[in-house]
Amino acid sequence: MAAPPLLLVTVFVAFPIVVAVAYSLGHVGGLNATIASIAREQHTVDAWWQQTFAAYGDVFADERFLRDLGTTVLVTLVTTVAVVLLAWVIALYLRMSDSIPAKVLSALAVVPMFIPVVIASWAILTFYAGDGFVRTIVQAFGGDAPTLGYTVVCITIGMVWTQLPFATLMIVSGVQGVPQPLIEAAADAGASFGRIVRSVIAPMALVPTVIAATFTAIGTLGAFTVPYFTGPNAPTMLGVEMAGYFTSFNLPQQAIVMAVVVFVIAAGFGALYVWANFRQAQDAGRV
């Protein structure tokens, strides 16, 4: 029963990754022949057992790539932390309150899930641009607000806005799944709200939190639309930069090197996801 999805992943994910990595190591024949025929400044090898890391050397020697890599990692970390914190605040508010404001807040948190990313990116840009809503309102009262459009800050805001719904759904479900008798027992024993969160709710909602953080980080690492619309030309995130190297500069080998770097970083976050699922299976008694 597991064979069809595994075969699908192998054919459409694993195999293309192997082919792309081989091209980054200098193998320009076979399935890489077409792209190699139009590429500039590519490094090649003569035999299938040979490898060359010259393309990696070119990319890592480029200060522009290093700035973009730093920007990508920074935006990913800030976005992940901000999304997880906001999702936890919403989840705790919903757990401890059944009021209308709590329900409205939870509904607003998942609204971005139903708005196309292109439309959301353009809306965020116009909201924070030099002639956008924020500066217009502030200037109407005689003030002067900073222009956040086409900045790394604007990218981060956009990524938080687009990544929040999934994290909220995951963490809210985890927090709501904590048995009420455990919370009441801790409260009867004199535990404060903070102690209840640390000692009761957080440990039992750890797995959904890790899954939410993992998907947020991976989604931010490979983001293209939000940084493309809202960010500056330089530094920018690697999703935009590798697309530019591929289409504008005609340097597909270097673009694939950047993709490999993103894949390696994402694999680190993916390991957390695997651990979280294994931990969840252990708690359920399946392993």
132 and 214 housed in the same domain: yes
Q: What is the pLDDT along the chain (287 residues), one digit of tens a residue?
A: 788 888 888 888 889 999 999 999 999 988 899 889 889 999 999 888 899 999 999 999 999 999 999 999 999 999 999 999 999 999 999 888 888 888 888 888 888 889 999 999 999 988 988 888 888 888 888 888 888 889 999 999 999 999 999 999 999 999 998 898 998 899 988 888 889 999 999 988 988 999 999 999 999 998 999 999 999 988 999 999 999 999 888 999 999 999 999 999 999 888 888 887 777 677 666 55
Could you tell me how many residues make up the chain? Answer: 287
70 and 47 housed in the same domain: no
- Phi, psi of 46, deg, nearest 5: -95, -25
Q: What pLDDT score does 78 carry?
A: 97
**Could you tell me the maximum CA-CA distance found in the chain, to the nearest angstrom?**
74
Looking up residue 273, the CATH number of its domain turns out to be 1.10.3720.10
Number of structural domains (the chain) is 2
Q: What pLDDT score does 22 carry?
A: 94
Residue at 168 is within a domain: yes
75 and 14 housed in the same domain: no
Contact indicator for 195, 202 with CB cutoff of 8 Å: no
227 and 161 housed in the same domain: yes
Q: Residue 260 and residue 257: Cα distance in Å, rounded?
A: 5
Structural domain boundaries enclosing 36: 8-52
43 and 122 housed in the same domain: no
Residue (of 47, 56, 46, 64) closest to 21 by Cα position? 56
Distances (CA, A) of 109 to 88, 172, 227: 12, 11, 21
Residue at 57 is within a domain: no
112 and 44 housed in the same domain: no
- Phi, psi of 132, deg, nearest 5: -85, -175
Tokens 């990116």 sit on residue: 121
218 and 76 housed in the same domain: yes
Residue at 2 is within a domain: no
32 and 95 housed in the same domain: no
Residue at 58 is within a domain: no
Q: What pLDDT score does 67 carry?
A: 96
- Token readout for 283 is 């708690």
70 and 25 housed in the same domain: no
